[in-house]
Amino acid sequence: MTLTLWQTKRNNAFSVTNSSKPNAPNAMSISQDGADFTYFSVMKFGSPGRDMYMLLDSGSANTWLMGSSCQSQACQIHNTFGHANSDTLNLTQTTFSLAYGTGQVQGTMASDTVSFANYSLELGFGMATTASDDFLNYPMDGILGLGRAASEELGVQSLMDALDDQEGLKEKIFGIHLQRSSDGTKDGQITFGGVDASKFKGKLEYTNAINNSTWEIPLDDGGVDDKGVGFKGKSAIVDTGTSYWLAPPGDADALHALIPGSYHNGETYLVPCSTTANVFVTFSGVNYTISPKDYVRGGATGSADGMCYSNIIGHQAYGPNQWILGDVFLKNVYTVFDFDNARVGFASHSVSSDSSTTSSLSSSSPPTTSPSSSSSSSASSAQPSGSTTATSAEGPSKTVSSSSAGPTSSPAGGVDSSPFGQAGATSGAPERPVNLGCIIILAFIIGLIL
């Protein structure tokens, strides 16, 4: 595996594992940080424009990037965007604020041409004028909201709605393949308007979403190897912007109890570094296997006991029956987010996703019918809470607030000094979970690698 240094306009660099250019039409490559924690794609904003690394977040429909007028230290070490980069940039007088616990971004709403994956469209987005130091350590210059329209809080059209309206998608879907860095394939890819049949084997199995704002789907069960826990009434939010698998403590306890030699340390768990146990989740009667390559964090803990931290975290982000499945799970499957039919589809990764293989854009239809009995689909190897304030010069501000879903301790077992603890509501509106999104990534990475 080769890490290349992505140089920004200033004297700094981030280690990035760049993926190969996709052969499939209407697709863009997904790169990552080399540690399977953050996944992002390069998009050109403006005309003549500037390339920006945008973190992919299916947990939210909010899109923002770091603006050139931002003087925060986090902005100083990232690519920023402004009038110097584009003759077509339209800045408004509407301000926004997205709060992630003690970390936040604030700025001004804007619109411009955005080019990616053979598309070029007009898109509204936020341009950050301030960003907390919590964004210092990660390669992305902004966040691309790929969530459902109901989770959009900035008062503009979501990316997928804009893409469908302006480009006339055959199907309002996107398919996503997240690569595991250790495999060295460098073939991460997101495809819009269809799926890339070269990235998966077998058929796509769909599960209908159970609410209108997130990609939350009912869970049949979960377990380890051939033994199920017997979960009932559980659901999972499928989120590309979350690195880990978050489950309420009781559920995480039940899963880890089936991994021989495991034990917990607060919200985190330790498992034998040498474990070969495969964890699975079941949706619509199909089992999907999560390899120990993904749920076991490599490297010893510093004690001489041969134990490693688990990437399955015992944290209740929302209700007592709600899980969040992030990249720990998604690296093991090809995933389709279907806006037209409000459903999520999974298929097992293809045996080899060689970048030289000819790719084709395929329809996700007709929908497959899931078997009533459980079958196996195993791979080779899982919203920032926040407040959003839109303030217009012509009228009073509009505030949408929510409670935080962020954990308060790091997977390393210590106190997490990251920005993602409880956020106070800023209005009298009832608290509600909005999008966990990418911010859970940052909360955990700080505890893991700093």
Q: What is the 3-state secondary structure (H, E, C) of 281-343?
A: EEECCEEEEECHHHHECCCCCCCCCCEEEECEEECCCCCCCEEEECHHHHCCEEEEEECCCCE
DSSP 114: E
Extract the tokens encoding 73.
């230290």
Q: Are 223 and 289 in contact (CB under 8 A)?
A: no
CA 53-56-62 angle, 5° bins: 100
Helices (H) and strands (E) in the chain, counts: 6, 33
Strand partners, 323: 236
Distance of CA 11 to CAs 8, 14, 40, 78, 214, Å? 7, 11, 21, 10, 39
Q: Are 60 and 437 in contact (CB under 8 A)?
A: yes
* Gyration radius (Cα) of the chain, Å: 21
Instruction: Kindly list the catalytic residues.
Output: 57, 239
Give Cβ neighbours of residue 111 (< 8 Å, ≥ 6 apart): 89, 90, 92, 122, 123, 124, 125, 156
